[in-house]
Structure formats: structure tokens, C-alpha cells
Amino acid sequence: MNTLDQIKPGETVVIERLESEGAVRRRLLDLGLTPKTRVMVRKAAPLGDPIELYLRGYELTIRSQDARRIIVTRV
């Protein structure tokens, strides 16, 4: 298992679980980052933060520290 921040641009993964609690977990879930969701990493900033994702028909940008809390498996 990997975390979302370890995935390279162009790769597609499936979210297994979120390892966060409280407000951060609720925000990630509200953004559509729920278990069993397919996510493609579109690109990352030069220093790796933030990361642009494509999921559920829209683009989403999240911080690397948030991506580090999302456990994924490669498709």
C-alpha cells in the first residue's frame, strides 16, 4: 500500500482509507476523497506541493501533507 503523495503524475489509484481524524477527515471526505474512489494524479508542483488530482469528473488540488494521509492501491 502507498500513500497518495507517493504516486507519480499520470498514474491512477483507488483510495483504500483515510488516516486522518476530525475536521481534516471531514474536509477530505466532503471533497470526494472517499474509499473505493478512482483518482488520477495529474501533476505535482516542482517541489511536490501541492498535487493536482482528477476524480469524479473534476480537478482537485490538495496539499502533500493531506495526501500523505490517504492510503491507496495502484490500478
Q: How many structural domains does the chain have? A: 1
Per-residue pLDDT of 21-33, as tens digits, reads: 999 999 999 999 9
Q: Kindly report the pTM of this predicted structure.
A: 0.90
| Dist. CA 67–CA 63, nearest whole Å | 6
CATH number at 16 reads 2.30.30.90
**pLDDT of 48 strictly over 80:** no
| Dist. CA 4–CA 39, nearest whole Å | 9
| Dist. CA 42–CA 54, nearest whole Å | 6
- Domain carrying residue 22: 2-74
